[in-house]
A and B are shown apart, each in its own frame.
Chain A
């Protein structure tokens, strides 16, 4: 187990380093100058732009820039944002992380919670009217662009019914000294529409995975044997069949874990949710190299960690993997 874990971790670290180098180089090759844009709608002299370029170190050769970036990163310093000078990248990323974790975590919880439950229900009631309608409904939602669904929900619940906030994570009018209960309620109210939007468009995948996996397991001999032994159907389903039908869903969860931090750029923008997705999108638009790199590194790390955790889960759940 230890050797396997060390090998797997080393693979992840190497992948992470390669991804970081590629990101660094590709970003510098992308057209668009962050400093000319930084001048805003006023003119800047060539000398002023050169001075700024020097200040941010982007007048140096790419190897020097990379060396100083790596030295900084190893010391926990990802540099300073060009767009939000003099704010540090780590400060910006950390300020956006809670919002991303909250939205991503809620969506993962809802998607997998509801998706697994509905997938099991569909497998048990296979070919019933409910199974067919659930399939149609989930695929319809799956086919919808998330930003479009978000806009429709915002219009209906926010503008038409005036029930829910249409954007932001907090009510800007909320008293900064409000109690934690009031603050929590406020965040939850703002969370509903973006979380429902993202959950709705991603639910179908989990439902389909779970339904298919469970149907395959329910056909196997050991399920028949369990039933023959007189074990109650509920126990057959959940203790015997479902546990064995969980592996594909665990793999899917590993793939989706990066959503915890990356969120959805479109949904974050439609609801002005202050997460890392919109930070990264804004940084790309502004060619804010340090912020792009900081957020991309975080997402890469999350992807690799997600894969590692999924492998670990397989390892723990499936004795065949342990024996291999």
Chain B
């Protein structure tokens, strides 16, 4: 071979996928592996202890099982409709006590049986605010968990309410007591268990390359069945375009939430990829600050007036904005009610935008365009507000521009602040905003509304300091009421919140989950998307 040709042949060999595949001997491995690509790194996918991000929580579903899962209708109230997992069954001893019978087939991946002691340890850890303040708050009605023997777990509650089972199984997953109990709580983050967790789910931890990939291997002794995909790789890819390229080139099999409507269209146009809709607990809303950002002890000079807030809501064409940004992958919620809430009113239709009515309402509150500059003013002060949103969210950026333009037409000047993530969080926490474009993944239980929309939530998740005692009372009554009555009380609370207009509730999302067509039997469970991956059937590329 001529010397000059050698480099070209070498490059051709490198570039040839079949040659490379043969050289790697990877064809068989490829068939048996599911590659998931995401933007956030699941650095510590350990439930109860470190589940502080969506990716940690999602990936922990591959490693750990709960006592029981929410059923397909996502009803969080009552003792029925849940799907047994580590607990084979549960009975009610009295209105304050639940007794779980553990499934004796369950094993930790080091061979140790999963016992009631593991579940009791996790529940008691979760009640400790030093471990995780937010989980401790959610578990505040759990008095204690004990394990009288290996097979039975007794959970006692401080009061009778309809979501006891949900609280016991949703927020906490059993942890291996034989490994965790000996670690001082302050040393958990540095422990061997944190860096290579031992779970009881269908996959076991194999290796992690920080910020790059996490590799999990099928655990063949998994008591619910042998996992189909032999390996699951989770790739962390920060750039949205790179994630999309990996999916479209076939190097990755699964991509959650490809992004705005144009990105989703790119995915749906590719026949090698199927898109599955997955309802979520995500709600996007524009919070109105109730406090003056310049002096947090005073009410907001403009937004403390409910009529002004209601006029802003009235002025916006939320349906049009959501359609333009997300296409059919989102809808306008009635209040802080995501698609997965069982209390959601399926017949709800948002009122049409009424810019003229909104302007008239503002004029009736004394806001007029006295200097003819197109911006309403009162006592010499213009109706001008800032809108903060995090720069990494393109969808909220698009929506912010639409909000700015639609409010301009009624005489409200909006200054958009596109902020770097940490700066946005800092300003939000400090109350330094007029309008804050927030997006939250809520708990599947409507009782979780207490965190962001009650007087008690002020200083915590309730960044805008909205407070209406009537809402608090309705939420408290709903929590303790039986399902049918609770439904009516929750809906009343939602309508009261919507009427108060503490925020513009802009969208609730359905996540498009893009999966390579080579994977069959795809089943996605909304609140735990990867928990059924072990039942998927990967096949050859199409």
Contact = CB atoms under 8 A, between A and B. Distances in A.
Interface of A: 31-34, 36-37, 39-45, 48, 84-87, 92, 95, 151, 154-155, 157-159, 162-168, 171-176, 178, 182, 185-186, 188-189, 192, 269-272, 274, 278-279, 282, 285-287
B477 interface: no
A294 B426 CA distance: 24
Contacts of A154: 242, 245, 249
A79 to B, nearest CB: 15
Instruction: For the complex of A and B, list the 5 residue pairs with the smallest distance between their C-beta atoms, beginning with the closest.
Output: A32-B422, A40-B52, A166-B245, A40-B53, A269-B239
Given A166-B245, A166-B249, A32 B420 contact: yes
B251 A165 contact: yes
B134 A43 contact: yes
Contact of A155 (B13, B35, B132, B245): B245
Given A41-B440, A42-B52, A287-B422, 16 more contacts: A31-B422, A36-B426, A37-B425, A41-B54, A43-B461, A48-B133, A84-B210, A159-B245, A173-B33, A176-B207, A185-B23, A269-B242, A271-B242, A282-B211, A282-B238, A285-B422
Contacts of A274: 211-212
A41 B238 CA distance: 17
Contacts of B190: 86
Interface string B237-270: 1110110011011110000000000000000000
Contacts of B460: 43, 45
Given A173-B33, A270-B242, A285-B421, A167 B251 contact: yes
Given A43-B461, A162-B17, A192-B15, A32 B423 contact: yes
B115 interface: no
* Main SS at interface, chain A: loop
B440 A173 contact: no
B496 interface: no
A167 B53 contact: no
Interface stretch (B24-32, B120-128, B147-155, B518-526): B24-32
B24 A171 contact: yes
Interface string B1-34: 0000000000101111100100111100110010
B213 interface: yes
Contact of B242 (A32, A40, A166, A189): A166
A48 B190 CA distance: 18
A253 to B, nearest CB: 24
Given A41-B441, A159-B245, A164-B15, A272 B422 contact: no
Contact of A178 (B11, B13, B24): B24
Contacts of B509: none
Given A32-B420, A174-B26, A270-B239, A167 B246 contact: yes
B249 A162 contact: yes
